[in-house]
Amino acid sequence: MLSRLIPVVFCGIALAKAPAQEPAQHVDLTKFPAAAVDDVVVPVPSEVFNVLDKLGSPNWNAEMRDNLGKNSGDRAQVALLLGTVIADGFIAVEAENAERVKDIGQEVLTLADAINVRKAVIARSKSITEKADAKNWSAVRSELDGALQDVKGAMEELGDEDLAQLVSLGGWIRGTEVLTSIVGKNYTLDGAQLLCQPELVNYFSRRVDAMRNSRLKKSKLVQTVRRLLKDIRPLIKRETIPIETVQKIHTMTNKVVIVITTQES
């Protein structure tokens, strides 16, 4: 298995001194370089779906979309769309809909082709189809997680870090839309708390703000995503997120998914 490695290296920086044996009960996080602490590890979709599995049995079929969207030819849109489609793959897995999973595997390949990273996901796409046929759902999930990582890795190798970030964002937005739909229909405090992701949202915002490709950064679609992150941020700071807020976030993310899917704004 080829692991992807994210460097979090800050050579020459002497940091806090550590005790040799028992771990400290408390650490001062401000002693760590902001660049390291602020660089949040983005969870893979399986981590969220794994928790949702334990919270009950939502009607996953009701969360699936008939229309996965169209490729407008705009690279930002394709990257965001690819993220949403991979997220739909997880929903189809939850619904145990093998045909839908296979369709999504093909769509991932088509969209990856449109942004020159087809090669990175050919094996994954094939494996998704095989494992969906075998109804090996946990393996399909792993392949979808892997497809997301492979696409991002291939983009980064091509120097397209900005687009790679948009793939992650597309997946996060669609995932949040579905999460809020499910939690909104069967509200529990634990379910709503899955939305408590302030540092992750801050991280996404910083990455959008730091985009090197100014044309991409200024595009209407990216600006729409940027506004969404800004608007969501204050809503997910609290540990207890009321149902009204869950529904509000659902409306917000749903609108942006429609914009990504139809490229209309």
Partner 1 sequence: MALGLSMALARVDDALSFAHEAADPYTREGFTVREDAWGGDLGVKDQQAVTAQLFKGNVYWFWLGTDTKGAVITVHIYDSEGNLAESEYWQKGRFAAAKITPKKTGTYYAIVTVEKSSRERSNWALVYGYK
Residue with tokens 């995503």: 225
Which 3 state secondary structure label does DSSP give 59?
coil
**96, two tokens:** 């145990």
Taking the complex as a whole, how short is the minimal distance between the CB of residue 9 and partner 1, in angstroms? Answer: 3
The residue count of the chain comes to 265
Residue 245 contacts partner 1 per CB under 8 A: no
Cα-to-chain-centroid distance, residue 17: 35
- Residue 8 carries which DSSP code? -
Query: Could you count the other beta carbons within 10 Å of the beta carbon of residue 113?
Result: 15
Give the one residue of 64, 109, 158, 200 binding partner 1; rule: CB under 8 A.
Answer: 200
- # residues contacting partner 1 (CB under 8 A): 61
CA distance 182 to 156: 33
Give the one residue of 103, 107, 145, 162 binding partner 1; rule: CB under 8 A.
Answer: 145
- Nearer to partner 1 by Cβ, of 74 and 156: the residue is 156
Taking the complex as a whole, how short is the minimal distance between the CB of residue 50 and partner 1, in angstroms? Answer: 6
Give the one residue of 25, 57, 67, 214 binding partner 1; rule: CB under 8 A.
Answer: 25
Which 3 state secondary structure label does DSSP give 128?
helix
Residue 48 contacts partner 1 per CB under 8 A: yes
Positions that interact with partner 1 (CB under 8 A): 1-18, 20, 23-29, 32, 35-44, 46-48, 50-51, 54-55, 138, 142, 145-146, 149, 156-157, 190, 193-200, 239
